[in-house]
Amino acid sequence: MASLMEDFIDVLERENEEYQRLTELSNEKKQIIIDGDIPALEEITSREQEIAGVLKNLENKREEVVKDMSIVLSKEPEELTITNMIAFLNKQPNERQKLTELRENLRETLEKMADINQQNEALLHHAMEMTEFDLTLFRSMRQAPETANYDKRANNTGDLLGSSGFDARQ
């Protein structure tokens, strides 16, 4: 059981490190979004995907360790949360302390990452709105206004004025 606990703690520490790296990238991404640097955004996104792959592998490893621990402890894997494991380790103060610190570190890291991601989401939303505004403005500059001409059934014909804006015939 001791080696399983060491493996579990090791995996959690490595996960926390990867989440910290991901948080740093999200922080960098904030300035890239503000600058509108699309090539840098693509590059940072590929780096995030690499970290996400590492995190997925660590998650699988953690699930394997928890499954092994559940067999040893005769518990269901769902019962073996970090909080419950801390409670189980009342006779092992060192492991209990490590798990407590890891839980807090993970919580802080994930909260920080969630905050930064919310900010990035808002920035992206504003950037999309500005792009839509620019496109609408550009389209309206290219399109001439409609005339107020109607056909026999009182429907607007949708005729457009000339592209020059006024007619200079003599």
pLDDT score at 151: 75
120/31 Cα distance (integer angstroms): 9
pLDDT confidence tier of residue 95, bands split at 50, 70 and 90: confident
pLDDT score at 20: 95
Total count of domains within the chain: 1
pTM of the model: 0.72
pLDDT score at 159: 59
162 lies in a domain?
A: no
149 lies in a domain?
A: no
Evaluate the CA torsion angle 82, 85, 91, 92 in order and state its sign.
negative
46 lies in a domain?
A: yes
pLDDT confidence tier of residue 124, bands split at 50, 70 and 90: confident
The mean predicted confidence, pLDDT, of the chain is 85
153 lies in a domain?
A: no
Give the CATH number of the domain where residue 101 resides.
1.20.58.300
23 lies in a domain?
A: yes
CB atoms within 10 A of CB 137: 10
The one-letter amino acid at 124? L
Nearest by Cα to 74 from 88, 61, 92: 88
67 lies in a domain?
A: yes
Query: What confidence tens digit (pLDDT) does each residue in 25-82 have?
Result: 999 998 888 888 889 989 999 999 999 999 999 999 999 999 998 888 888 888 888 8
Burial of 141 (0-12, 13-18, 19+ CB in 10 A): exposed
